[in-house]
Amino acid sequence: ETGVTQSPTHLIKTRGQQVTLRCSSQSGHNTVSWYQQALGQGPQFIFQYYREEENGRGNFPPRFSGLQFPNYSSELNVNALELDDSALYLCASSTPEEGNEKLFFGSGTQLSVL
């Protein structure tokens, strides 16, 4: 078990609604990354936050937004949900010094959009 916790574990929403997913990073980690994993696919990078600022973004529309708080926990917000947003959303924490070599993933939030 890593020290990264995500909530909720499962969520069901309808098309057009908004959703907020939460992530608490591993102790001592100030960088949080979010990934979307559709069924049968590898995770796709959404964005990364470092010290409360967005530090990089993948190919996702602006309705995907995030926040990082002073305690380094993070939120992923998705507006105007679409059916294709149904996926497992993974959060990973790290430090800049170790970068992608020491990524600790949470167990994810399974989002279903009906």
Partner 1 sequence: KQEVTQIPAALSVPEGENLVLNCSFTDSAIYNLQWFRQDPGKGLTSLLLIQSSQREQTSGRLNASLDKSSGRSTLYIAASQPGDSATYLCAVPSNDYKLSFGAGTTVTVRA
Q: Which residues bind partner 1 (CB under 8 A)?
A: 2, 4, 31, 33, 40-45, 48, 55-56, 58, 88, 90, 92, 99-103, 105-108, 110
Q: Which H helix or E strand runs over 47?
A: strand 44-50
Beta carbon nearer to partner 1, 92 or 113: 92
The neighbouring-strand residues paired with 19 are: 78
> What does each C-alpha distance from 27 to 34, 81, 91, 104 come to in angstroms?
17, 32, 14, 11
- Nearest distance from C-beta of residue 88 to partner 1, angstroms: 7
Q: Which two tokens stand for residue 68?
A: 């990082």
Beta carbon nearer to partner 1, 2 or 86: 2
- Nearest distance from C-beta of residue 55 to partner 1, angstroms: 6
- For residue 25, give the DSSP letter: P
- Nearest distance from C-beta of residue 1 to partner 1, angstroms: 10
